[in-house]
Amino acid sequence: MKRGAWIAIGLGATALIAILVLVQFGAKLSKGAPEETIAEAPAPKPPEPKYPIDEPRQPARDTTTDTAAGTDEAASEPPPLPTLADSDQAFRDAVDEAAGPTAIERFLVPDSVIRKAVVSIDNLDSDPVSRRFRPVVEVEGSVPVVRSGDSIHLDPANFKRYEPWVSGFISLAPDTLVDTYSRYYPLFQESYQDLGYPDGYFNDRVVQVIDHLLATPDIDGPITLKQPKVFFEFADPRLERLSWGQKALIRMGPDNADAVKKQLRAIRDELLSRASGE
């Protein structure tokens, strides 16, 4: 049975490139002596993945149903992956089936889901990407605020806007999520390399971004805002300097942020257990 969701979450390896140059000494060669040739330097090896993704776990086979004529072993193999360009429907179907009554599939955009997921994850620890590159639909409604004189605070009612998304995210079993992620991992990796990381390993980047999100500061009490132009900003410059992903966790409120962090830790643990072969 198909399972899965997309996640949300690292790249942590640096390549050391050794260039070997053979030099020809200035000794004269006798007439007719063959010229020395310059050996080509070996191609640099890409860095080893820090957290190699494992193959999806297959359910145990019920041997009581095997026939003496021989069960077709190939029948238990998962079907081949679609190409990255043709992966949208299959991936959305997998998300829809795994999400069940939570219907998290309705939060996904209809096209280029894997590509947009990779772009967004890669930018969660920096600046936001354009909405057209995001894999999920926008949270409904505008940001509610409370004004008191010259002061502007984020209205706690804003936190409820995120509850459907958070509920869908935390309802997914981490092992189920990682199973489907690993099943589609070649497409995630292909998309990541297309971004300009030919030697990068996307799962390393996922773990790195999860660690960054888990480091989001906990904010208790009112969140003060300012509105220099059209959009609201955090009045505290320390918060305003945070990354796109960390700001999103703060805006969704402490309870939602705690729930998302708990799920991220569970996903991280599952990813690392697969990488270590546990």
- Indicate the residue type of 247: K
Residue 31, in any domain of the structure:
no
Query: pLDDT-derived band of residue 107, with 50, 70 and 90 as boundaries?
Result: confident
Q: What distance, in Å, lies between the first and last C-alpha atoms of the chain?
A: 23
Residue 244, in any domain of the structure:
yes
For tokens 């829809």, name the residue: 96
Beta-bridged to residue 233, according to DSSP, are 226
Residue 141, in any domain of the structure:
yes
> What pLDDT is recorded for position 163?
93
Tokens coding 278: 């546990």
**If 0-12 CB within 10 Å is exposed, 13-18 middle and 19+ buried, where does residue 140 land?**
exposed
Residue 167, in any domain of the structure:
yes
Residue 267, in any domain of the structure:
yes
Residue 72, in any domain of the structure:
no
34 pLDDT above the threshold of 80: no
| 213 within 8 A of 244, measured Cβ to Cβ | no
pTM: 0.77
Its domain, for residue 178, covers: 80-275
270 pLDDT above the threshold of 80: yes
> What pLDDT is recorded for position 56?
56
Residue 139, in any domain of the structure:
yes
> What pLDDT is recorded for position 8?
33
Query: pLDDT-derived band of residue 43, with 50, 70 and 90 as boundaries?
Result: low
Residue 48, in any domain of the structure:
no
Domain count, the chain: 1
Kindly state the average pLDDT of the residues 220-233: 93
d(CA 276, CA 278): 6
- In three state form, how does the secondary structure of the chain look? CCCCCCCCCCCCCCCCCCCCCCCCCCCCCCCCCCCCCCCCCCCCCCCCCCCCCCCCCCCCCCHHHCCCCCCCHHHHCCCCCCCHHHCHHHHHHHHHHHHHHHCHHHHECCCCHHHHHHHHHHHCCCCCCCHHHCCECCCCCCCCEEEECCEEEECHHHHHHHHHHHHHHHCCCHHHHHHHHHHCHHHHHHHHHHCCCCCCCHHHHHHHHHHHHHCCCCCCCCCEEECCCCCCEECCHHHHCCCHHHHHHHHCCHHHHHHHHHHHHHHHHHHHHHHCCC
Q: What is the mean pLDDT of the chain?
A: 80
> What pLDDT is recorded for position 126?
97
Task: Give which of 228, 222, 230, 208 is closest to 253, Cα–Cα.
Answer: 222
104 pLDDT above the threshold of 50: yes
